[in-house]
A and B are shown apart, each in its own frame.
Chain A
């Protein structure tokens, strides 16, 4: 019996873009559940709906119809402010282009969300420093993003995403702008966070390296989930194709 709780639950989710006669169906009747502690990846060709699905799961966009639940709460009825608070407290985002604030140091970038949460300074410092130590970012605290390599910036971005102990981390093509060695180390790091902290990760990717790390791969095609692989064997097969 599976006792893991549902972090994300999508039922019959449809997302259309456009008005009148010109309508693009980005997502078609998606049913999906993400459980606590999963390390999953979504893959599919460009235009398959990966980003749209990730946006809807992250509360950045609203579904045209269907039910979107995050941690038991229906996103469709939450106000923008409530969604914002939900993202701040329970969802971490890692972007392809890192999107760190250039005027803040690595430490301050990671501290930023904790500050939004109004966590006391002593706790903020403890959390960020502990995380930096765990992620191999020691000594880089006072560097600005422009003074860091792509891999280091992405580590800081991951630190920013996980520092609040979110229920879910959504990562979009995070290995697209780094070399394969850095990609490997970033994924190892996230795997470690997933194992140690039970943080749930959901990736959107084209990168076979990410697929290799994932315990579950959701394949999207034309706005629909075409199939899923849950065993490592199947994933191996898929990545070899």
Chain B
């Protein structure tokens, strides 16, 4: 049985090399067909992973704990309490990289030049320095530190619109948790630039104690508790577990997709577009391969008939055809994956803007600026998925030749025995 199978494999292997040029063209088409989506996926998924991580670290984590009604109306008076206990439990969880306590306040910033609607985010500066890219985006002045009091950092567009710079002050008007109007004087400690119009034009960060004081919250209350997980791919499962074990009556754990649906939708659409390109490539590759396999089968009909005559069984011939396409797939799909990964690796570190033309900040997803430096994501399961997908698609090609083999009339093909 083993030697019979080996013989069939050998015949299959040797048969595909009968017409070397045709075989090489087919192999090339599969290599390219597998390589291009692999390259795109490595690059695009790398961008998305970077974006998701940046946004999660800047905003409210991969998973966020907040008031059940906060998503419908992010009002200043919707907060969650008893947060220190939850925070401690989360920080002792092996899946958690870090947490960030956040107090968000929506309000208006005023200077003599005018008024701008802003979002104040009170954070723990020491933690923010460890997890967020914002401290590195300071272009003037300094980032925050604990006990900074009224010092805040603002985006460069906001600074421009309010006509403030480092050391200057502006008035922030908002409402506290009781709905009372509150006015506070803030002083600019630093100006940041992220490339995102929304963040640079309407975002202000302060020490969380200042935000709590303005809102009238205690040190055990927050608007949101952001959770940065070690493996973002498993955040959905983590979320469900936390919801079961930690959520209070008025609190809910949400994923970054629920917190930032615009980002999630845009990424989903981009991924769908890349998947569509992949499907198109599959069709092109299959078409090229189809003619090869079909021609190779049709031109051997007499040979197959003589093999059937001397006692080869239909199933053995079908296996031979099937093995031929398996060999095609086994050679070309891994090579295609290697090609895609290799090219993606080669482009690592290049600025996308240098390739497509434009400047940093031109690319944004859901209002968040994307890092345009190419950082491919080499996800083995994902690369394998593409390779296996192409491999299986190529195997489909053997269906018609196998069907034709089953219809061979020995006597017609041989005319006489």
Contact = CB atoms under 8 A, between A and B. Distances in A.
Interface of A: 50-51, 54-55, 58, 60-61, 80-81, 84-85, 87-89, 91-93, 95-96, 99, 101-104, 108, 112-113, 115-116, 118, 121, 160-161, 170, 172-173, 204
B163 to A, nearest CB: 82
Contacts of A85: 311, 313
Given A99-B306, A104-B11, A116 B312 contact: yes
Given A55-B416, A104-B14, 15 more contacts: A51-B415, A51-B417, A81-B314, A84-B312, A87-B310, A92-B310, A93-B310, A95-B309, A103-B11, A104-B11, A108-B7, A113-B310, A115-B3, A115-B4, A116-B4
A41 to B, nearest CB: 14
Contacts of A172: 416-417
Interface string B12-39: 0011001000000000000000000000
A112 to B, nearest CB: 7
A93 B309 contact: yes
Given A99-B303, A115-B7, A80 B314 contact: yes
B15 A103 contact: yes
A104 B308 CA distance: 16
A91 B1 CA distance: 21
Contacts of A173: 416
A160 B411 contact: no
Nearest to A204: B416
B338 interface: no
B312 A103 contact: no
Nearest to A91: B311
A170 B417 contact: yes
A26 to B, nearest CB: 11
Contacts of A160: 310
B309 A101 contact: no
A145 to B, nearest CB: 11
A55 B303 contact: no
A117 B229 CA distance: 61
Interface residues of B, number: 27
Nearest to B13: A103
Contacts of B411: 55, 60-61
B314 to A, nearest CB: 7
A172 B417 CA distance: 6
Contacts of A54: 416-417
A118 B4 contact: yes
B417 A101 contact: no
Nearest to B5: A115
Contacts of A96: 416
Interface centre among B10, B11, B313, B416 (most CB of A within 10 A): B416
Nearest to B302: A99
Given A54-B417, A104-B11, A118 B310 contact: no
Interface string B298-332: 00001100111111111010000000000000000
B410 interface: yes
B414 to A, nearest CB: 7
Residue with the highest number of chain A CB atoms closer than 10 Å, among B18, B310, B416: B310
Interface in B359-417: 410-411, 414-417
Given A103-B15, A103-B18, A118-B1, A51 B311 contact: no
Contacts of B417: 51, 54-55, 58, 60, 93, 95, 170, 172, 204
Contacts of B410: 60-61
B82 to A, nearest CB: 75
Contacts of B415: 51
Contacts of A99: 302-303, 306, 414
8 interchain residue pairs of minimum CB distance: A88-B311, A103-B14, A51-B416, A99-B306, A87-B311, A172-B417, A61-B411, A172-B416
Contacts of A118: 1, 3-4
A63 to B, nearest CB: 12
Contacts of A204: 416-417
Contacts of B303: 99, 101-102
Contacts of B414: 60, 95, 99
Contacts of B307: 101
B416 A84 contact: no
A54 B415 CA distance: 11
30 contacts: A51-B415, A54-B416, A58-B417, A60-B410, A60-B411, A60-B417, A61-B410, A61-B411, A81-B313, A84-B312, A85-B311, A87-B309, A88-B311, A91-B311, A93-B309, A93-B417, A95-B306, A95-B309, A99-B414, A102-B18, A103-B11, A104-B14, A112-B310, A115-B3, A116-B4, A118-B4, A160-B310, A170-B417, A172-B416, A204-B417
A172 B1 CA distance: 31
A95 B14 CA distance: 23
A116 B312 CA distance: 7
B191 to A, nearest CB: 74
Nearest to B15: A103
A160 to B, nearest CB: 7
Interface string B129-159: 0000000000000000000000000000000
A91 B310 CA distance: 8
